[in-house]
Each structure stands twice: as C-alpha cells, then as structure tokens.
C-alpha cells in the first residue's frame, strides 16, 4: 500500500506540513476560498494536513490491522464468504465487512468497512479537528457525528479498480431522509497520482430544475 519515497520527497512534504501547521494554528476551518470552492465544485482538496510521521504511523497500523483481519478471516470458525451478482467477494469477520479482491481464492483485502474500531489510532480520527472542523463547515452544522468509515486498498499487481460511483446513492438507500446531511472525508496515505491508480472524478452535474425534461 505504501509508495516508496525519497529523502528529498519526504523533506519537501515535511516543509509543506510545517507551513500548513502555521496556517492552521488557530483552527482548520474553511477559509473564504475553500468555502467558495466547495459551493462551486462540491469538494475541497488540502495537502499535507498530516505530518510524514503521522502518515507513516497510520500506514504501519494499516498493515498490522489488515494482517490481523486476514488471519482471523481464514480461521475455520470465521464468518461466511458470499459473492454478489457484480462479482464482489464479501466476508463478515472482525465485526467488519471484508471485501476481498475479485479473483477467486485471493487473500488480498480490497476494502474494510467499518474499520476504526480495529485500532485506537484509527478511532482517534473521528475527533481529529482536521476532519471535524472542515466537515462542520461543509455541512453547515456546529457538530458532526460518525456515519460510516471505510479503508480502501489497492495493492500492487492484484489491486483492482473501483468503478465509477456516487456515495450519495448509498447514503440515500439507507437513510433517505437525512442523506443530504452526510458528506465524505478522505485521507490519502499514499501519493495519489495517475501512476499508482489514483482516484479521479467526473465533472459535477448541474442540479436538476423543476419541470426539466
């Protein structure tokens, strides 16, 4: 999961983090430009909000947790595995849904949901101001609460693509009355670039007008 980094790259990231730390010393609320960008584009992108040391610790925790989840899932008394119509292989174990890679018999984890209960370092993210304050601004509320959490992995060689989708569709299916009160926050633990299959997005659709065909 972790990308190989050079000393120069690490130093650059540390310098950027230090500049960010100074900027956000008083808090991590949206500034006026981010607020305008969120209203226009539907997302805000921030760089180096976590230090290289924090990212390294989280990456190590990911490997530790995934290894433990995999080990437990392969035990004889683990939860059953099922395959959905679209080919997804799911298994219930460790109080989470494990989505294995598509290939039959693969023991590579593709997704864990939920996952923050699996380690205190993950659980602490729910109250980290770098998540909560921007989300309060995005949703226009004085307080936010957890809805769900998901750990996505895309391993070398076997890691498969994540098809185009909208999160809102899933929220609406499970909580149609309050789906508009949910938003997504993502923390990338690897460099996100075209070379390693980074996430991409479609252009934002214009909202439907009443009476439009």
Residue 121 lies in a domain: yes
pLDDT in tens, 136-164: 999 999 999 999 999 999 888 888 877 88
pLDDT at 210 over 50: no
Contacts of 74 (CB under 8 A, 6+ apart): 107
What percentage of residues in the chain have a pLDDT greater than 90?
61
Residue among 107, 115, 6 at smallest CA distance from 61:
115
Residue 50 DSSP code: S
Residue 92 lies in a domain: yes
Give the three-state DSSP class for 149.
coil
Rounded to two decimals, what is the model's pTM? 0.83
CA distance 30 to 149: 22
Residue 15 lies in a domain: no
Residue 12 lies in a domain: no
Residue ranges with strand state E in 62-206 = 81-83, 89-93, 96-100, 109-113, 151-152
Residue among 193, 184, 191 at smallest CA distance from 165:
184
Domains identified in the chain, total number: 1
Residue 142 lies in a domain: yes
Q: How many CB atoms lie within 10 A of CB 34?
A: 17
CA distance 62 to 68: 10
CA distance 17 to 19: 5
Residue 4 lies in a domain: no
Residue 138 lies in a domain: yes
pLDDT in tens, 40-60: 999 999 999 999 999 999 999
Residue 52 lies in a domain: yes
Structural domain for 179, as ranges: 35-188
What percentage of residues in the chain have a pLDDT greater than 70?
83
């Amino acid at each position: 999961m972790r990308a190989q980094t050079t000393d120069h790259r690490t130093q650059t990231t540390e310098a950027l983090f230090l500049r960010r730390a100074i900027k956000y010393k008083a808090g991590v609320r949206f500034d006026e430009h981010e607020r305008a960008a969120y209203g226009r584009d539907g997302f805000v992108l921030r760089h180096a909000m976590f230090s290289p040391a924090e990212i390294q610790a989280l990456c190590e925790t990911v490997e530790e947790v995934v290894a433990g989840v995999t080990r437990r899932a392969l035990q004889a008394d683990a939860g059953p595995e099922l395959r959905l119509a679209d080919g997804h292989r799911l298994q219930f174990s460790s109080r989470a849904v494990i989505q294995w890679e598509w290939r039959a018999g693969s023991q590579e984890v593709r997704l864990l949901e939920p996952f923050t209960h699996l380690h205190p370092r993950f659980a602490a993210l729910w109250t980290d101001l770098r998540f909560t304050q921007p989300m309060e601004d995005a949703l226009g509320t004085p307080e936010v609460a957890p809805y769900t959490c998901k750990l996505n992995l895309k391993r070398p060689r076997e890691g498969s693509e994540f098809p185009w989708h909208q999160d809102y569709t899933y929220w609406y299916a499970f909580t149609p009355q309050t789906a508009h009160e949910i938003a997504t926050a993502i923390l990338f633990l690897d460099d996100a670039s075209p070379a390693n299959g980074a996430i991409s997005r479609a252009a934002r659709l214009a909202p439907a007008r009443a009476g439009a065909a």
